[in-house]
Amino acid sequence: MLEQIFQFLVTGITVGSIYALVGLGFALIYNASDVVNFAQGEFVMLGAMTAIALFGAGLPLALAAIAATLLTALVGLLLERCAIEPARGASVVTTIIITIGAAIFLRGVVSLLWGKNSLPLPAFSGNEPINLGGATLLPQSLWVLGGAVLLVSLTRAFLNRTLLGKALLACSFNSAAA
Amino acid sequence: MLRTGLLKIFLATMLLMGVNLVNAAEPIKIGTFLTVTGPAAFLGDPELKTLQMVIEDLNVKGGLNGRKIELVHYDTGGNAREALNFVKRLIRKDNVDIIVGGTTSGDSLAVILEVEKESVPFISLAGAVQIIEPVRKWVFKVAHTDRMAAAKIFEDLRKRGLNKVALITGDGGFDKSGREQVLKLAPEYGITLVADESYGNKDTDMTTQLTKIRATDAQAIINFGFGQAPAIVTKNIKQLGIALPVYQSHGVASKTFIDLAGEAAEGVRLPAAALVVAEQLPDTDPQKPILLAYKKEYEAKHGPVSTFGGHAYDGIMIAAEAIKRAGGTDKAKVRDEIEKTSGFIGTAGVFNMTSEDHMGLNLDAFKMVEIRDGAWKIVE
C-alpha cells in the first residue's frame, strides 16, 4: 500500500510539474499584459510539434528542443505584435476573443502542416525506469521536475531582483503611474 | 378509328419492348452507406475506395451476369440516425438490389430493423457481435468480432499457462464492447480477472490505473482499445517497470501504434487479420494470393492497406458471388445464396456461412502476432 502511495506521489508530482510550467506561462502573460491567454495550450502543442518536426528533419534532440522553444517564442511575439498590440486598451473580453481566435488559427495551421494524429518524441535520456523504494521514476520525470523548479525560481528572481522584472510588475499594477 | 386503335397497340408494343430492352441492360445497383468523414473516417475511407476499385474491376470484366454494376453511396459521418435515413433512401428511392456497408457498429445496428422490414439483403462491415446475434434473416457481416479477439487472446494465454489477468480498457464503444466480451469469455477459458481498470480515451497518463494493476498478482495485462490510448498504456507499463506479457486488441493492428509506442511496443502480442502479415504467411496458405493481390492493387492506387478496406473487399465479393449464383438480383434468391457462401476465401479469413452463422469466420481468421524489432511477427 505504502509502495502504491509513493508511486502515486511520484506520478502526481511529475504530471503536476508539467501543469505548473503551463500555468507559469499563463501567469506571466497575465501579469505583464492583463491578457488571459486562451491560446496557451496551443503554444504548448506548437512547441512540441516544432521540436518533433525539427528532430525528424535530423537535428540533434537538444538542439531541436531549444530551436523549438525559440521558434514558439517568436510566434508568441508575432501574435502580440499583430493581434494583441493593435487592440491595446480593449476590454478583457475582446482580448480573450482574440486569443481564442489565435488558438483556432494555430491548431488549423499545425494540422495542415503535420496532420491531426499524435506523434512521438523520444525522451531526453532513455526510457529505463529508475527504481525508488518500490516506485518507479522515468529519467524524463527528473528533467520535468528539474525544469519546473529551475524556471519557477528564475522567473521569481527575474521579477523581484532585476530592474526589467520590477518594471514589468509595476506596469501590471498600474500602467499609468509606471 | 381502327387505324388510331392499331397505332395505339403498335405504340404500346414498342413502349413495352423498349422497357424490356432497358431492363436487360439495367445495371445491378449496390447500395452503401459509410463513415467517410468524421472521427471514424480512417475506417470508412479505405472501405469506399475498395468498393469503387472492386466494382470498376468487375465492370471492366463485363459486370455480373452481363449487367454492369452501379454503386450508390452516402456518407453518414458516423451519425447512426443519418445512417437509417440513407438506408431508407437507398431502398425506397434508389431501389438498390443489395446493401454492403455500415462502417461502425452503431451505424450497422441502427439500420437492421429497416432492412428486415423491407427484405433487402445487407452485408455489414462492422465488428460488434450483436449485428448477427441473434441471427436475422437479411443481415450478414464480414468483419471479425471482438469476441473472436478475446477468445484468441485467451487461447494464447492458455498455451503459455497464464490464468490470472488484469484488464484495462478505455471509455469508447469499441473498448466497452471488448471489455464485455473479455468478462463473459474468461470463465470459459478458466481465466481469473484480478483487475478491471478503465481510463478516458483522451487521457495522457494511465500510470495510476497501472500502479493498481502492479499491486495485484496478475500474470498478464490485456488492453482493449484503439487510437493513441493503447500506445500510452503500453508506454506506461514499460515506465512502471512492469515486466508482464501485454496483449492488445486488433484495434491497434496498424503501423501507427508501433510508431507511437516505440520501444515499449516490443513483445506486445495481439490478434490481427492476416492482411497485416500477408507476406509472412506460408505459401500453402490459401489466403495468401488473395491478400497479396488485393494489397498490391490497393497500394498502387491509394497507399498502405488497412484491414477495414479488406472488409469492404470481402463484403462486395461475397455479394457479387451470390448474385452470380442466383442468376439475377431477386432479393430472396440472393439472400439464400449469401447464406450458402462456403469456402469463400476473403481478406478476413475463409467464410463458411450457415443459417445459424451469418458471419462464417472461425478463430483461424485471426493470427496471433508479436511486435519484434518494430514489425509484426506471427507467433503460432
Write out pLDDT tens, residues A11-25.
Answer: 899 999 999 999 999
pLDDT tens digit string along B224-269? Answer: 987 788 999 999 999 888 999 999 998 888 788 888 898 899 999 9
Residue of B201 and B47 predicted with greater confidence = B47
Contacts A48 to B, Cβ<8 Å: none
How confident is residue B10, by pLDDT bands cut at 50, 70 and 90?
low
DSSP code for A115: -
Q: What is the pLDDT of residue A122?
A: 85
B322/A83 Cα distance (integer angstroms): 63
How confident is residue B150, by pLDDT bands cut at 50, 70 and 90?
very high
B323: nearest Cα among B24, B63, B4: B63
Q: What is the pLDDT of residue B20?
A: 47
A42/A58 Cα distance (integer angstroms): 24
Residue A9 scores a pLDDT above 80:
yes
Q: What is the pLDDT of residue B321?
A: 95
Mean pLDDT score across all residues of chain A: 88
Q: Would you say B58 and B64 are in contact if contact means Cβ atoms under 8 Å apart?
A: yes
Q: Of A11, A18, A130, A131, which to mutate for an interface test with B (greatest number of B Cβ within 10 Å)? A: A11
Residue A159 scores a pLDDT above 90:
no
User: Across the A/B interface, how many CB contacts are shorter than 8 Å?
Assistant: 40
Parallel, antiparallel or unpaired: strands B139-141 and B122-124: parallel
Residue A134 scores a pLDDT above 90:
no
How confident is residue B21, by pLDDT bands cut at 50, 70 and 90?
very low
Residue of A22 and A176 predicted with greater confidence = A22
Name, in order, each residue with C-beta under 8 angstroms of B30's C-beta and a sequence gap of 6 or more: B51, B55, B69, B70, B71, B72, B96, B97, B98, B99, B100, B316, B319
Q: What is the pLDDT of residue B25?
A: 66
Residue B22 scores a pLDDT above 50:
no
Residue B174 scores a pLDDT above 80:
no
Mean pLDDT check: name the lowest of A161-175, B132-146, B159-173, B344-358.
A161-175
Q: What is the mean pLDDT of residues B301-328?
A: 92
Q: Of A1, A7, A44, A121, which to mutate for an interface test with B (greatest number of B Cβ within 10 Å)? A: A7
* A7 to chain B, closest Cα gap in Å: 7
Q: Would you say B373 and B360 are in contact if contact means Cβ atoms under 8 Å apart?
A: no
Q: What is the pLDDT of residue B68?
A: 94
pLDDT tens digit string along A82-122? Answer: 988 888 878 889 989 999 999 999 999 998 888 777 788 88
Q: What is the pLDDT of residue B105?
A: 85
**Chain B interface, Cβ < 8 Å to A:** 205, 207-208, 211-212, 214-215, 228, 231, 238-241, 256, 259-260, 262-264
Please name the residue of chain A whose CA is at the shortest distance from the CA of residue B204. Answer: A15
pLDDT tens digit string along B26-54? Answer: 899 999 999 988 777 778 889 999 999 99
Q: What is the pLDDT of residue B2?
A: 53
Tell me if A11 and B212 make a contact (CB, 8 A cut-off): no
Residue A135 scores a pLDDT above 50:
yes
Q: What is the pLDDT of residue B27?
A: 92
Interface predicted TM-score (ipTM) over 0.85: no
Nearest to B260 among A118, A129, A136 (CB): A118
Please name the residue of chain B whose CA is at the shortest distance from the CA of residue A119. Answer: B260
Q: What is the pLDDT of residue B6?
A: 60
| CB-count exposure of residue B112 (10 Å: 0-12, 13-18, 19+) | buried
* Cis? peptide before B134, omega within 30° of 0: yes
Q: What is the pLDDT of residue A1?
A: 74
Beta bridge partners of B377: B370
Contacts A118 to B, Cβ<8 Å: 228, 231, 260
**Chain A interface, Cβ < 8 Å to B:** 1, 3-4, 7-8, 11, 15, 117-120, 122, 127, 129, 131, 136, 138
Q: What is the mean pLDDT of residues B185-189?
A: 94
Q: What is the mean pLDDT of residues B189-198?
A: 94
Residue B157 scores a pLDDT above 90:
yes
Q: What is the mean pLDDT of residues B274-286?
A: 90
Residue B19 scores a pLDDT above 60:
no
Mean pLDDT score across all residues of chain B: 89
Q: What is the pLDDT of residue A119?
A: 82
Q: Would you say B236 and B227 are in contact if contact means Cβ atoms under 8 Å apart?
A: no
